[in-house]
Amino acid sequence: MDSSFWSKLFLSRWSRRAVCVAAIFASGVTSAQTPFPSKAVHILVPYAAGGGVDILARTLGDAVSREWGQSVIVENRPGAGGVIASQVLVTSPPDGYTLIVVASGHATNPFLYPNIPYDTFRDFTPISLLATSPNILLVRADSPFKSLADVLSQARAKPGSLSFGHAGTGTSTHLAGELLKSMAKIDIKPISYKGGAPAINDLLGGQIPMSFNNAPEALGQLKAGTLRALAVTTAQRSPLLPDVPAISETLPGYATEVWWAVLGPRGMPSDLVAKLSRDFVAALNTDAVKQRLAKFGDSPVGSTPQQLDAKIHADYDKWGPIIKAAGISAD
């Protein structure tokens, strides 16, 4: 055999060995994962800047960014009750670098927007429940209604004579009123506004007799004495307004609240989800975050991913029949 044959054989064997060595090296590099996060994390907010969800996201973003040593960028993607921002999330890589803070409407959107381009359960990864807040049944300070019992008494004596304002179709304040109607078996008319503030303005002006509003919208007027709180919607009295009864004290079993949670896209590694959950819960337990949220009437919670998943499913099961019975649709 000539020398060229041995040269080719040597080169062939060397090439195979080189490929094997390179493969082993690459495998070792891949298995040694870069600690998370190694770059900026983006948090999507489905509502406009300056609102309650935006403030919550920025407050927590600041806290975890200090822990991570990386920037947290909050991106506002308002529209369609959170559907627009959610669609952005579900098309993002499941690497933890794009997350979303959703409100309790996330669980009810499938009923309000039948054609949403994602699956509320399959396309998201629950990470942690963040905070809750009561909605409040409000009347003017000079209203003849001194209690929820007064409202129910008139509603039963004169069906259809009362109305309530709320922040928009399918919002938590709208559903709070619908739950009251359903459980008390009364006929009161919902009046939809583009946000809670316009509803309060009409309440103050006497155009509507009462309104359901979330705590941050109502606290200023309550402190000023221009509005009176008849009841809170949470299962028990709120530490925020300890002297105000819960609706459940008159209607046993009534309970609803606004909640906020952080989610990721589906397919996230379980160890990454666990880390993110731990980090957000730790941030919620810092004094700075607690004090910041208390100013807006929010109660920090924190949860495991499993607890959040159960919460979303429970709200989905609870509100579906009520939304369908009331014929509510945001489309």
Task: Tell the burial category of 10 from Cβ atoms under 10 Å away from its Cβ (0-12, 13-18, 19+).
Answer: exposed
Looking at the predicted structure, is the pLDDT value of residue 249 above 60?
yes
Residue type, 133: S
Average pLDDT over residues 206-210: 98
CB-based contact 100:42 (threshold 8 Å):
no
In this prediction, residue 30 has a pLDDT band, given cuts at 50, 70 and 90, of very low
Least confident of 15-19, 191-195, 260-264, 277-281: 15-19
So where are the chain's domains?
A: 41-133+258-326, 135-249
Q: Give 135-249's CATH code, choosing from 3.40.190.10, 3.10.20.30, 2.60.40.10, 2.30.130.10.
A: 3.40.190.10
Orientation of helix 52-68 relative to helix 287-294, angle to 10°: 170
Worst-scoring range by mean pLDDT, 2-11, 124-133, 188-197, 278-287? 2-11
Q: Please give the average per-residue pLDDT across 206-220, as a whole number.
A: 94
pLDDT of residue 331: 66
Among 35-44, 74-83, 250-259, which is the least confidently predicted range?
A: 74-83
Retrieve residue 184's tokens: 């008390």
Taking the model in full, what pTM does it have? 0.84
pLDDT class for 112, splitting at 50, 70, 90?
very high
> Which of the four pLDDT bands, split at 50, 70 and 90, describes residue 211?
very high
Rg of the chain over all Cα atoms, to the nearest angstrom: 26
Q: Architecture of domain 41-133+258-326 in CATH?
A: 3-Layer(aba) Sandwich (3.40)
At 15-25, the pLDDT tens digits run 444 444 444 44
End-to-end CA distance of the chain: 81
**Mean pLDDT computed over 279-302:** 94
Output the CA torsion 249→253→257→262 (10° steps): 150
Q: Select from 227, 5, 40 the least CA-distant residue to 137.
A: 227
What pLDDT does 50 receive? 82
Between 48 and 282, whose confidence is greater? Answer: 282
Q: How confident is the model at residue 131 (pLDDT cuts 50, 70, 90)?
A: very high
> Once rounded to an integer, what is the mean pLDDT over residues 188-194?
94
Q: Give the per-residue pLDDT at 33.
A: 65
45-54, 67-76, 156-165, 198-207: least confident range: 45-54
CA–CA separation, 32 and 11 (whole Å): 32
Beta pairing, strands 72-76 & 41-45: parallel
Any idea which of 75-89, 147-161, 274-288 has the lowest mean pLDDT?
A: 75-89
Intrachain domains 41-133+258-326 and 135-249 with the same fold: yes
Give residue 304's pLDDT band: very low, low, confident or very high (50, 70, 90): very high
- Whether 194 shows a pLDDT value over 90: the answer reads no
pLDDT at 65 over 80: yes
Comparing 43-52, 55-64, 265-274, the range with the smallest average pLDDT is 43-52
Neighbour tally for 236: CB within 10 Å: 11
Q: For 303-327, what is the mean pLDDT? A: 96
129 pLDDT band, cuts 50/70/90, is very high
- For the cut 90, the answer to whether the pLDDT of residue 297 exceeds it is no
Tell me: pLDDT of 2 over 60.
no
